[in-house]
Amino acid sequence: MEKKKRVAMVVANNFEDSEAIDPMNHLESLGADVVTIGEAKGTVEGKKGGVLEVECTFAEVTPEQFDLLVIPGGGAPENLRIVDEAVDFTRRFVESGKPVGSICHGPQLLISAKVLDGRTVTAVKKIRDDVMNAGASYVDEPLVIDGNLITSRVPGDIPQFNEALGKAIGLGE
């Protein structure tokens, strides 16, 4: 029997509710185990009142334990990008070659991890210049896949984003 796919989802206060909860529900419906990772264990609150429980801290996990990394947007990436352990975990995950999904403001964490140079990505337009200043090519499309990076812009792109995440780890259609 094939072992269950494990997904790391990095979260912090002010995450965009739908960009975390929808992919989590989708991946779990496909049979994946989604583990929420944050700076400290406990509750984190979304922008719209959603609540997630941080199951593991960055000190307790390594990229090798997971098949996919998901970086939801909202204010969480801005909060995580100043946490050295979060930046290091993200950098090592991208460098591992395993798939990394990032939506909306999620690329802020990728920028701080210094892994966007030469890549093509999308994000919410508000951080377009930041993405380009980090060396990436920005395109305004619902879904962009460049190597192991899977990026989307906004909550309206979640269906395409979810489908791409599932495919990246061999689950779904």
Q: What is the pLDDT of residues 93-147, one digit of tens each?
A: 999 999 999 999 999 999 999 999 999 999 999 999 999 999 999 999 999 999 9
d(CA 39, CA 12): 7
Q: Which domains does the chain have, with CATH numbers?
A: 6-168 (3.40.50.880)
pLDDT given for residue 172 in this prediction: 76
CB 89 within 8 A of CB 60: no
Cα–Cα separations (whole angstroms), residue 35 to 59, 112, 154: 14, 22, 22
Number of residues in the chain: 173
Rounded distance, CA 173 to CA 161, Å? 13
Q: What is the pTM of this model?
A: 0.97
Residues assigned a catalytic role: 104-105
Rounded Cα distance, 120 and 70, in Å: 17
